[in-house]
Every structure is written in structure tokens, then in C-alpha cells.
């Protein structure tokens, strides 16, 4: 069982959400605890009045709505009667035994689940504290209830398998095929919950994936002057269609003021993902074939990153945005650093020079001659150390089929001057587990100013030991079980 405890400021909004599901045949009210009438005799207004009358006893408390969902494994066949008993036990264990509440069973997902609507204002006007109740009381109640009703424990499911328990699945909206307000609400709620963005433009870059836009109005308009926000559906051409939905009319109220607070929170939350996006861009730009906006876009898509070019009416690119679909984070190019702004990226693409045939052939001859004269009998670490000591580096990249390829070149070489490794040498690198991580460590080592002061003999010794340490740690890691690997990751990485 998975419990989601949500507190809010609109009892009517939570109740209307569930009643709307009932009207569409996607839910039914299976219980009304603490009401003087049976559930069949309760109209919407009678349900609402009972909760609102309690909330009115303490007008100083603004967060007075409790909206809970209890979610169960798809394999479980649970009757309405059992669900009511589970709801009764759960509410008692979190301290809501004396509160009135309504229980709705929803049928719009692939797993059994119920929603519970209540208030935290008690008959004496005192409030039930909600701080950390989801983390503390709710989690304790869940763990105690699971064995009582023979439920599948939440801990028995991997995190990726628990995704189906999330009540909102955002889908691209096609105007006319779904109710506009409900569709927009689902998309916006899911995007705000799972993505990290720091501006309205970045949010719209994500919403565009679902044919939705958040509009704050043109300067001078009433919407703009009032600091309002409206959400609209987009057609295939990117134009707004249908009636815009005010942010305040959506259940979660994703208003501009609320978004601005989220922007500030996300500035810190997205920092850990910046290096991955940068590294993917650099790796793509090294590829000889990446020499245009389209080829960069295709290369990054293979890494799970969408690229959006912002253009003016003349077709000139003035901005670039990167959407990491894996980490659910969005960056404007300039946020990654001055080398990743639209103008800098375009310059790097345009200035990729096609090397003269003589220069490329010369590189091939020198690298192949060096490989022919190397003594590989001393082992992989010594051989690789000798290559890096002589200024040769090895870069890994994936082709369109996802196969790893190796390119050799001098550290100061332009990407277009890199030489593909022979089939024999590629096999040698692969069988000895040469990785991009090892290359990056070696590049850092030989590129540092302190390293340049060593003699050639010391250089070889340090590089050889670096490679040996790396391969030893990797071999140990691959031989561990999952628990040991998890423990290993917590420990500090060896200081090579």
C-alpha cells in the first residue's frame, strides 16, 4: 500500500474533484464517516457543509483541507467493504478517528485506490497539526495496516515499479478529444511535481511537449497587469485553441506567484544535474559528424536530452534550451556557462573545420607507427600509460546503433582530426574495459600543471599506477552484489 497525504486550503476544490469523477462514472462514494445521514442521502452541498462548518470554527487556520489517496497493488482484489475498513483503520492511526470524512473509490487507473476528503479542524475549534504527518504518522499507519489486511508491502516493490501508483499520468493533449480543464490540470500537476525549471519560459518548454502553454499575457493587458496566469491548449501549429483556463480555477492553483516560489526552489534542486548535460553536449560536439543544429539535436536525443532552438521571425536563432528527459530538468544554454549559450554553440558548430587530407593522413601514419612499435607484453596499464605520456588520447563514442567506437588523437587535436581505432586495437581496448571515465581521469592527470614537472619516468609510473588502481576498483565493483555496490558508492572515491 502507498499512502499520499496532501494538505490544502480548498475543501470545496478537493470535494469537487472527487464528485466530478463520480459524475463521469470514474468513481463512486463508498463511505461517509461522521455524517448524520447515509452516503446515499447526502447531496454535494450536504457533504461540503459538514466539513466547511467545522473549518469555520477556526478561521485563523488557512490550511484546513486534507486529501488522502491510498493506493494498492494491481494484483490485489479488494472489496468496497474492505477498503472502508482500511480507511477507518488508517484515519484512526493518524489521529483523525473523530473527524468526518468521505471515501471515494476511483476506477480511472490500473490499480485499486481510494481518495479520502476531510478537515483537520476539530469540533472544539482546535486544529490537528499536519506538519510531517505524511512522513511520520502516515508511514507508521501504512506499515501497521499492511499485515492486518494482508496487503502487498510498499517496500517489496522497486521504485520504478511504484510509478503506476501515481494518480496523474501526463499525456499530450489533442483538442476536442478530452475535456480541456481536466486534461490541462493533469499535465500541469504532473509537470510541476516531477520537473525542475526556474522560469516561465523553461516551464513552457516542458509544457509544449504536451501541447500546453502557460500565458501571463502581453505587456499592458489586464492579465499581465494583475499578475495573472492562464493555461491554454496548443494546436499542431503551436497556436492557442479553445478557452484559456485561469490558474486559480485549477485544483492545485498553479498561479504565477506560486510558480515564482517554485522557480527559486528549483535553482538549487537542479544544480546536481548540470554536469551531466554539459558532458553530453561536449561529447556530442567531439563527434566529427555533429556540425549543424540538426545533427547536434540528434546526437543529444540519443543521450535523452531534447534541444529546443528559439528563433525570431527572421529565422535567426537567439536562444537554446536543453531538456534532460531522464533527470526531468531543464536548462537554458547560458545557465550552463558562457560556452553553452546559443551564440557559443553555433560558433562551435560553424567553426568545425574540415581537415586537409594530408593532415589527417599524417595523424594516421604517426599514430599507427606508434602502435606498431609499442611493447604490449608489459600489460594493458603500461601500454596505455605510454600512449597518454606521448600525448595520445582515446575517446569513446556511440554510433547510431549504440555500439561503442574508439577514436585516437593528440590531446590538442581538433575533433575532425581524430583517427578511428583499428578493429584489432578496438577489441584490445574493449576486452580490457577501457571507459570514458578512465579517459577523463587520465586527461585530468596529464593536463594538470603539477604533472608537467615530473620526469618522463615518473610520468609513466604515475599513469600506470592510475590505470591499475582504476581497473582494480572496477573489477572489485563488478564482483560485488547489489548491497555491496550500494555501500561502495557511499564511500569516498579513491584519490587517484
Show pLDDT as tens, one digit a residue, over the chain (496 residues). Answer: 888 888 888 899 889 989 988 988 889 999 999 998 888 899 999 999 999 999 999 989 888 999 999 998 888 889 999 999 999 999 999 999 889 999 999 987 667 899 999 999 999 999 999 888 878 889 899 999 999 998 888 765 543 334 333 333 455 555 555 567 888 888 888 899 889 999 999 999 999 888 899 999 888 888 888 889 999 888 767 788 778 889 988 878 899 999 999 999 999 999 999 999 999 998 888 876 788 888 898 889 988 999 999 887 677 888 999 999 988 999 999 999 988 999 999 888 876 544 455 667 777 888 888 888 888 888 888 888 888 777 788 888 877 777 888 888 876 666 667 888 888 888 888 888 888 887 777 777 666 555 555 555 676 777 778 778 777 777 666 665 555 545 544 444 433 3
Contacts by residues 234-242 (CB-CB < 8 Å, ≥ 24 positions apart): 234/208, 235/175, 235/211, 238/208, 240/213, 240/215, 241/175, 242/175, 242/180
**Other beta carbons within 10 Å of 24:** 11
**Other beta carbons within 10 Å of 176:** 9
Determine the pLDDT at residue 125: 92
Measured in residues, the chain has a length of 496
Asked if 371 contacts 420 with a C-beta cutoff of 8 angstroms, the reply is no
The rounded distance, in Å, linking the Cα atoms of 197 and 259 is: 10
Asked if 151 contacts 166 with a C-beta cutoff of 8 angstroms, the reply is no
- H helix or E strand, kind and range, residue 430: helix 423-431
CA 254 to chain centre: 19
**Which residue has cell 594493458?**
380
The full set of domains in the chain, from first to last, is 2-165 (3.30.930.30), 180-269 (no CATH), 272-350 (no CATH), 357-482 (no CATH)
Asked if 99 contacts 122 with a C-beta cutoff of 8 angstroms, the reply is yes
Determine the pLDDT at residue 412: 64
Q: How open is the CA angle 248-250-251, to the nearest 5 degrees?
A: 110
The rounded radius of gyration (Å) of the Cα atoms in the chain is 30
- H helix or E strand, kind and range, residue 322: strand 317-324
Burial of 453 (C-beta count, 10 Å sphere; 0-12/13-18/19+): exposed
> For the stretch 386-424, what's the b/e string if a residue is b when 16 or more beta carbons lie within 10 angstroms of its beta carbon?
bbbbeebbbbbbeeeeeeeebbbbbeebebbbbbebeee
Q: How far is CA 202 from CA 206, 235, 320, 353, in A?
A: 7, 20, 11, 33
The rounded distance, in Å, linking the Cα atoms of 323 and 168 is: 21
Exposure of 267 in the CB half-sphere (CA atoms within 13 A): 7
Asked if 335 contacts 277 with a C-beta cutoff of 8 angstroms, the reply is no
Q: How far is CA 479 from CA 77, 437, 485, 488, in A?
A: 41, 19, 9, 12
Sign of CA dihedral 132, 111, 117, 14: positive
- Give the pairing type, strands 240-246 and 230-234: antiparallel
Q: Which residues pair with 68 in a beta bridge?
A: 5, 116
Sign of CA dihedral 115, 206, 159, 131: negative
The rounded distance, in Å, linking the Cα atoms of 88 and 85 is: 5
Q: How far is CA 44 from CA 27, 49, 329, 400, 466, in A?
A: 15, 9, 40, 57, 71
Backbone phi and psi for residue 178, each to the nearest 5 degrees, phi listed first: -155, 160
Q: Which residues pair with 108 in a beta bridge?
A: none
Amino acid at each position: 500500500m502507498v499512502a499520499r497525504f496532501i494538505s490544502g486550503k480548498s475543501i470545496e476544490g478537493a470535494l469537487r474533484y472527487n464528485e466530478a469523477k463520480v459524475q463521469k462514472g470514474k468513481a463512486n462514494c463508498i463511505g461517509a464517516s461522521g455524517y448524520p445521514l447515509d452516503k446515499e442521502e447526502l447531496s454535494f452541498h450536504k457533504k461540503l457543509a459538514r466539513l466547511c462548518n467545522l473549518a469555520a470554527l477556526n478561521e485563523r487556520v488557512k490550511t484546513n483541507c486534507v486529501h488522502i489517496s491510498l493506493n494498492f497493488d494491481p494484483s490485489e482484489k479488494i472489496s468496497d467493504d474492505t477498503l472502508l475498513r482500511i480507511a477507518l483503520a488508517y484515519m484512526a492511526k493518524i489521529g483523525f478517528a473523530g473527524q468526518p470524512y468521505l471515501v471515494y473509490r476511483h476506477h480511472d487507473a490500473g490499480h485499486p485506490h481510494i481518495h479520502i476528503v476531510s478537515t483537520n479542524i476539530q469540533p472544539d475549534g482546535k486544529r490537528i497539526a499536519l506538519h510531517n504527518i505524511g512522513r511520520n504518522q502516515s508511514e507508521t499507519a501504512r506499515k501497521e495496516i499492511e499485515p492486518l489486511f494482508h496487503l502487498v508491502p510498499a517496500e517489496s516493490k522497486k521504485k520504478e515499479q511504484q510509478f503506476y501508483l501515481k494518480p496523474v499520468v501526463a499525456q499530450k493533449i489533442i483538442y476536442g478529444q478530452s475535456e480541456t480543464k481536466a486534461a490541462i490540470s493533469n499535465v500541469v500537476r504532473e509537470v510541476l511535481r516531477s520537473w525542475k525549471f526556474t522560469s516561465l519560459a523553461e516551464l513552457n518548454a516542458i509544457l509544449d511537449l504536451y501541447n500546453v502553454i502557460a500565458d501571463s499575457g502581453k505587456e499592458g493587458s489586464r492579465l499581465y497587469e494583475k499578475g495573472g496566469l492562464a493555461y491554454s491548449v496548443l494546436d499542431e501549429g503551436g497556436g492557442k485553441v479553445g478557452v484559456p483556463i485561469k490558474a486559480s480555477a485549477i485544483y492545485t492553483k498553479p498561479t504565477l506567484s506560486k510558480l515564482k516560489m517554485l522557480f527559486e526552489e528549483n535553482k538549487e534542486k537542479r544544480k546536481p544535474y548540470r554536469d551531466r548535460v554539459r558532458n553530453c553536449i561536449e561529447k556530442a560536439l567531439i563527434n566529427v559528424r555533429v556540425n549543424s543544429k540538426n545533427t547536434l539535436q540528434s546526437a543529444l536525443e540519443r543521450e535523452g536530452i531534447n534541444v529546443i532552438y528559439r528563433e525570431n521571425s527572421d529565422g535567426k536563432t537567439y536562444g537554446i534550451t536543453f531538456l534532460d528527459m531522464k533527470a526531468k530538468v531543464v536548462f537554458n544554454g547560458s545557465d550552463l556557462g558562457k560556452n553553452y549559450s546559443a551564440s557559443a554553440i553555433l560558433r562551435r558548430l560553424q567553426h568545425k573545420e574540415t581537415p586537409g587530407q594530408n593532415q589527417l593522413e599524417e595523424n594516421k601514419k604517426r599514430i599507427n607507427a606508434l602502435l606498431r612499435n609499442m611493447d604490449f607484453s608489459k600489460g594493458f596499464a603500461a601500454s596505455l600509460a605510454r600512449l597518454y605520456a606521448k600525448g595520445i588520447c582515446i575517446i569513446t563514442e556511440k554510433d547510431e546503433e549504440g555500439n561503442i567506437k574508439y577514436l585516437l588523437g593528440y590531446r590538442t587535436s581538433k575533433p575532425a582530426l581524430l583517427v578511428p581505432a583499428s578493429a584489432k586495437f578496438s577489441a584490445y581496448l574493449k576486452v580490457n574495459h577501457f571507459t570514458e571515465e578512465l579517459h577523463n581521469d587520465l586527461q585530468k592527470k596529464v593536463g594538470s600543471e603539477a604533472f608537467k614537472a615530473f620526469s618522463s619516468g615518473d610520468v609513466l609510473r604515475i599513469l600506470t599506477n592510475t590505470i591499475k588502481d582504476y581497473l582494480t576498483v572496477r573489477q572489485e565493483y563488478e564482483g560485488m552484489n547489489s548491497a555491496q555496490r550500494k555501500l561502495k558508492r557511499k564511500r569516498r572515491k579513491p584519490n587517484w
